[in-house]
C-alpha cells in the first residue's frame, strides 16, 4: 500500500510518514499539562503546536484526550469529548494535515469523524464495546495496537513466551475481526504497542524482529518517542531522550514502519530525509 484514504485527505506512505503527538491531557507521561492553564484547556496553544508540527513536515497529527501511560486512570466520556473534539474541528478548519484521534471511545470516534478526523488510532484495538461498529460507521481507516493488560496494570508484570509471535497471533485475530466488520485491507494499520505491557527486553526484541509483522500486508505504526526503554538503555530522564528517540525512529523505519509517531517532529524528519537520501543513492 502506498496511499491511504483518510477522509478527505490522501496519505502517501511510499516513504515513512511522521505523526506528531498532541496530548490534550494533564497527565501524559511526557507532555501532559502542556496545554492547560489550571484545569482549562488552552485551545490556541494546542493549535499553534499542531501548526508548528505541520510546518516542520508532519503528515499526521495524533490528538489524544486520555492518558494511556502506565498506571493512568480512565477519563470520563464528556471530559474526553471536551478535550478532543474542539481541537480536531479547529485543526480540520485551519491545517492541511491528516488528523488522527487516539481514543477507544465509540462516542469520541463518531464525534471526531464528524468534525474532520481522518484516522482512528485505538490502543485497545477497537475491543471496547461498540468501538468497532463506531469506527466502521465513519468510513475512516483504523490503527489497532497490541497491549497486554490495560494502562492501569499493563506494566505490573508483562510476560511472553515469544513477544513477536504473541503479538502476531493477536493481530491475526484483530485483522480478521476488522475485515469481518467491514474494513478492507487498505483501511487497517497495525501498531506493535511498544511500552504497552512490555518490559525493555520485549520492546527491543519486538523492534529487532518487527519485519515479521509485515506479513499482514498492513502498514505498521510505531511509537517509541521518549519511552522508558530509552531510559532503561541510556539511563536518561524523559526530557533527555531525544538521541535515543531518533535512533529508534531510524531503526523502526529500516525495519518496515510506515508511520513514526513522535514528539520531536523536525528532528525526526531530518533523520528520515537522511535515510531516504542513502536509500536513493
Q: What is the pLDDT of residue 149?
A: 73
Q: Which of 115, 98, 90 is nearest to 4 (CA)?
A: 98
The residues annotated as belonging to the active site are: 227, 261
Annotate the chain with DSSP letters as a single string: --EEEETTEEEE-SSPEEEEEEE--S--TTTTTTTEETTEE-HHHHHHHHHHHHHHT-SEEEEESS--STTPPP--HHHHHHHHHHHHHHHHHH--SEEEEE---HHHHHHHHHTT--EEEETTTT-STTHHHHHHHHT--EEEE--SS-TTTTTSS---SSHHHHHHHHHHHHHHHHHHHT--GGGEEEE--TTSS--HHHHHHHHHTGGGGGGG-S-EEEE-TT-HHHHHHH---GGG-HHHHHHHHHHHHHTTEEEEEES-HHHHHHHHHHHHHHHH-
Q: What pLDDT sits at residue 37?
A: 46
Q: Which domains does the chain have, with CATH numbers?
A: 3-280 (3.20.20.20)
Q: What is the pLDDT of residue 142?
A: 98
pTM: 0.92
| Residue 123 CB-density burial (10 A; 0-12 exposed, 13-18 middle, 19+ buried) | buried
Q: Could you read off the pLDDT of 252-263 as tens digits, one per residue?
A: 999 999 999 999
pLDDT of the residue at 32: 46
Q: What integer pLDDT is reported at residue 1 of this predicted model?
A: 54
> Residues 6 or more apart from 117 whose CB is under 8 A from it?
7, 63, 88, 92, 99, 100, 101, 138, 140
* Residue stretches of the chain with pLDDT short of 50: 28-29, 32, 37-38
Confidence (pLDDT) at 159:
86
Residue in the block written with cell 491545517: 95
Amino acid at each position: 500500500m502506498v496511499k491511504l484514504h483518510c477522509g478527505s485527505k490522501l496519505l502517501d506512505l511510499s516513504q515513512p510518514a511522521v505523526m506528531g503527538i498532541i496530548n490534550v491531557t494533564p497527565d501524559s507521561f511526557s507532555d501532559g499539562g502542556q496545554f492547560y492553564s489550571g484545569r482549562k484547556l488552552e485551545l490556541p496553544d494546542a493549535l499553534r503546536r499542531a501548526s508548528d508540527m505541520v510546518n516542520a513536515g508532519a503528515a499526521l497529527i495524533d490528538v489524544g484526550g486520555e492518558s494511556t501511560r502506565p498506571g493512568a486512570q480512565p477519563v470520563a466520556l464528556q471530559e474526553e469529548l471536551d478535550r478532543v473534539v474542539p481541537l480536531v474541528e479547529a485543526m480540520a478548519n485551519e491545517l492541511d494535515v491528516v488528523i488522527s484521534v487516539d481514543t477507544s471511545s465509540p462516542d469520541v470516534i463518531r464525534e471526531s469523524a464528524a468534525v474532520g478526523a481522518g484516522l482512528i488510532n485505538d490502543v485497545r484495538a477497537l475491543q471496547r464495546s461498540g468501538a468497532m461498529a463506531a469506527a466502521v460507521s465513519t468510513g475512516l481507516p483504523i490503527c489497532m495496537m497490541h497491549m497486554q493488560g490495560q494502562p492501569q496494570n499493563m506494566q505490573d508484570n508483562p510476560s511472553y513466551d515469544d513477544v513477536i509471535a504473541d503479538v502476531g497471533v493477536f493481530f491475526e485475530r484483530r485483522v480478521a475481526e476488522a475485515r469481518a466488520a467491514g474494513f478492507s485491507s487498505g483501511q487497517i494499520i497495525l501498531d506493535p504497542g511498544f511500552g504497552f505491557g512490555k518490559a525493555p527486553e520485549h520492546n527491543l526484541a519486538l523492534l529487532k524482529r518487527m519485519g515479521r509483522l509485515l506479513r499482514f500486508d498492513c502498514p505498521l505504526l510505531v511509537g517509541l518517542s521518549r519511552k522508558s526503554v530509552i531510559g532503561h538503555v541510556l539511563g536518561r530522564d524523559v526530557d533527555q531522550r531525544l538521541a535515543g528517540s531518533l535512533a529508534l525512529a531510524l531503526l523502526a523505519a529500516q525495519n518496515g514502519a510506515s508511520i513514526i509517531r513522535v514528539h520531536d517532529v523536525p528532528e525526526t524528519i531530518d533523520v528520515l530525509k537522511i535515510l531516504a537520501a542513502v536509500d536513493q543513492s
